[in-house]
């Protein structure tokens, strides 16, 4: 794929960038066409941050849009959200300080969402930032969103009981990867973390010990969503978060359904990115990919208004070859990479980890998810769409792997490993493909199905019982800094809520991450990140990159406004409308 272009280190200049986002556990895919490089930047014009959002051609108000899913969302609490499927639905009810406009044509523009603009770098050194809130942004009960509520939302992200979300703001404010050791939320619920203040009702101020020039990007993540302290129910906030967006949750029965209806107190004049076209969004859970796919293909009754989040692999060639369905197909490459994570606490022998890299049959795995329309083999940590990307293969076993080379490294051992996987039928099928490839190379693999809606949380527990597992990652904003340090910095490892799913901690590589993170020249930084990518994989083999993601989905004929978001790398619902 073509590499995406660079981000400047300073926040207030025009830049050319690319965006990815966060985590996936549900399989999805895309087309074989190569995406053009994106152009994007951080807005310096406050007019870009004003609403209303540009109208979608052909859109109308009314009707109910249906979303068919098998699993619950991992989290709806904004401070706990890091899966892109949850981020997509959350955009309808939880606003952030900044957000991305996506006008199409592979363009992105960071603007103020709750904030009037993308922030003021007070001293021009990226250490002190101020954000002014828009007036007239309201909660679903009609009260106004205030700066203290934004600050409280960020403060509660320090609570280690509320794990799962991004940790940039916490680590930067605390100046420590172990942020909870610096500031204890439970002991300070009526206070704010060091460096975070709300000097008045409409100002949020950040003061960092080190320059954080990428703060405007970090504030587009759900961590910056406000939370009303009186509505905060801790871990139960997942069940009914309070809305400040165009829709509010009126019903949520886990495993059954969730209904979102219009928030009558949402003011489109304050919102530059969202619309309020359907009367309702009705999410139905417990529907497997095969059933959902066939229902949307047949589109009987309400299914003509339906959206699915995963296409049954068996239907991919059927849909791709049917000309009558092409006007209902969504297809796009994304910046997600899927990995076989190796739990380095358990798999300590580097030769065993290298053998896993030689053994993986990428071809069989990609076929199990639906074939090349949904992914292409990759052998690097960074996505092929990353700035400065250079292709290499430290373990050149070809598409199907090299069992003999793996056996040579194992030296007669027969390692017994447990492979955890989501309990969805599709993930089970992919797990069998992974197991077969590894076992022909001398491994003995035990499969461990795990509930899909808690899978990310479960593998994020440091003392989880598994040896290997599969999930995906894409950059949170356009630099490798939001992939390699987030996933490979061992100093971030805590008891739970980890994103370093490998539990890999190599001090020499941690130091390299620190060094590269402060390089101001984006081209030089990109070169150094790519070199570190190769060093990590060649010397330590802490994981196995499997494939780069592509989206290939089908939707009902009466749904309009769907697109693959470049900022969260999955379907966006902000423009959705029901045609009739």
Annotate 46-102 with DSSP letters as a single string.
Answer: GGGG-SPPPPPTT--S--EEEEE-SS--S--SGGG--BHHHHHHHTTT---SEEEEE
- The answer to whether residue 247 sits within a structural domain is yes
Sequence-distant (≥ 6) Cβ neighbours of residue 8 within 8 angstroms: 15, 522
Are 334 and 30 in contact by the 8 Å Cβ rule? The answer is yes
- The answer to whether residue 202 sits within a structural domain is yes
pTM for the complete prediction?
A: 0.89
Number of domains in the chain: 1
Burial of 320 per CB tally in 10 Å (0-12, 13-18, 19+): middle
Per-residue pLDDT tens over the stretch 128-145: 999 999 999 999 999 999
Residues 422/428/430/431 CA torsion (nearest 10 deg): 80
- The answer to whether residue 40 sits within a structural domain is no
Which DSSP helix (H) or strand (E) runs through 195? Answer: none
Residue 469 to residue 243: CA distance in whole angstroms: 35
Query: What pLDDT was estimated at residue 522?
Result: 84
Please report how many Cα atoms fall inside a 13 Å half-sphere around the Cα of residue 34, on the Cβ side: 8
- The answer to whether residue 258 sits within a structural domain is yes
Sequence-distant (≥ 6) Cβ neighbours of residue 531 within 8 angstroms: none
Residue 277 to residue 381: CA distance in whole angstroms: 40
Residue 389 to residue 379: CA distance in whole angstroms: 12
Query: What pLDDT was estimated at residue 520?
Result: 81
- The answer to whether residue 488 sits within a structural domain is no
3 state SS for 99-147:
EEEEEECCEEEEEECCECCCCEECCCCCCEEEEEECCCCECCCCCECCH
Instruction: Please count the residues of the chain.
Output: 580
Domain that holds residue 193: 72-281
pLDDT-flagged residues of the chain (< 70): 1-40, 104-107, 478
Residue 324 is given by DSSP the state: G
- The answer to whether residue 84 sits within a structural domain is yes
- The answer to whether residue 539 sits within a structural domain is no
Residue 471 to residue 14: CA distance in whole angstroms: 34
* CATH code, domain with 241: 3.40.190.10
- The answer to whether residue 158 sits within a structural domain is yes
């Amino acid at each position: 794929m073509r590499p995406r272009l660079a981000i400047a280190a300073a926040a207030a200049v025009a830049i050319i960038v690319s965006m990815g986002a966060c985590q996936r556990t549900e399989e999805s895919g895309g087309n074989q066409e190569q995406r053009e490089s994106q152009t994007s930047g951080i807005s310096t014009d406050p007019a870009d941050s004003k609403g209303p959002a540009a109208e979608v051609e052909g859109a109308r108000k009314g009707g109910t849009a249906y979303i068919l899913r098998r699993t619950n969302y991992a989290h709806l609490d904004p401070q706990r959200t890091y899966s892109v499927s949850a981020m997509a639905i959350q955009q309808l009810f939880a606003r952030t300080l900044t957000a991305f406009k996506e006008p199409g044509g592979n363009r992105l523009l960071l603007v103020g969402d709750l904030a009037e603009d993308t922030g003021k770098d007070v001293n021009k050194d990226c250490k002190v930032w101020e954000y002014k809130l828009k007036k007239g942004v309201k909660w679903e009960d009609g009260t106004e969103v205030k700066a203290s509520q934004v600050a409280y939302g960020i403060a509660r992200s320090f609570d280690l009981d509320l794990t799962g979300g991004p940790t940039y703001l916490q680590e930067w404010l605390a100046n420590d990867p172990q942020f909870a050791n610096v500031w204890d939320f439970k002991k300070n619920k009526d206070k704010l973390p060091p460096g975070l203040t709300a000097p008045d009702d409409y100002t949020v101020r950040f003061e960092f010990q080190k320059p954080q020039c990428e703060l405007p990007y970090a504030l587009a993540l759900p961590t910056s969503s406000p939370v009303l302290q009186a509505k905060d129910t801790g871990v139960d906030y997942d069940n009914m978060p309070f809305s400040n967006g165009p829709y509010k949750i009126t019903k949520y029965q886990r495993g059954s359904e969730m209904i979102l209806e219009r928030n009558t107190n949402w003011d489109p004049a304050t919102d530059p990115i969202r619309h309020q076209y359907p009367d309702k969004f009705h999410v139905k859970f417990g529907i497997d990919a095969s059933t959902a796919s066939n229902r949307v293909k047949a589109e009987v009754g309400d299914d003509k208004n339906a959206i699915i989040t995963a296409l049954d692999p068996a239907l991919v060639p059927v849909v791709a070859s049917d000309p009558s369905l092409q006007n209902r197909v969504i297809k796009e490459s994304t910046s997600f990479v899927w990995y076989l994570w190796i739990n380095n606490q358990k798999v300590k022998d580097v030769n065993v980890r290298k053998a896993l890299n030689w053994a993986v049959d990428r071809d069989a795995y990609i076929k199990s998810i639906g074939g090349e329309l949904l992914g292409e083999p990759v052998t690097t940590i960074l996505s092929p769409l990353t700035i400065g990307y250079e292709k290499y293969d430290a373990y050149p076993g070809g598409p199907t792997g090299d069992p003999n080379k793996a056996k040579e490294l194992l030296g007669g051992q027969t390692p017994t490993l447990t492979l955890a996987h989501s309990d969805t039928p599709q993930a089970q099928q992919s797990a069998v493909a992974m197991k077969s490839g590894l076992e022909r190379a001398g491994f003995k693999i035990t499969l461990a199905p795990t509930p899909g809606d808690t899978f990310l949380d479960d593998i994020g527990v440091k003392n989880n019982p598994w040896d290997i597992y599969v999930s995906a990652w894409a950059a949170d904003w356009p630099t490798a800094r939001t992939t390699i340090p987030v996933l490979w910095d061992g100093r971030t490892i805590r008891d739970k809520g980890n994103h370093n799913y490998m539990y890999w901690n190599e001090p020499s590589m941690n130091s390299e991450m620190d060094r590269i993170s402060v390089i101001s020249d984006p081209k030089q930084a990109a070169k150094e990140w790519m070199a570190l990518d190769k060093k990590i994989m060649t010397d330590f083999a802490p994981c196995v990159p499997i494939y780069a993601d592509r989206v290939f989905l089908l939707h009902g004929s009466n749904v309009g406004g769907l697109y693959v978001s470049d900022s969260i790398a999955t379907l966006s619902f902000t423009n959705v409308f029901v045609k009739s």
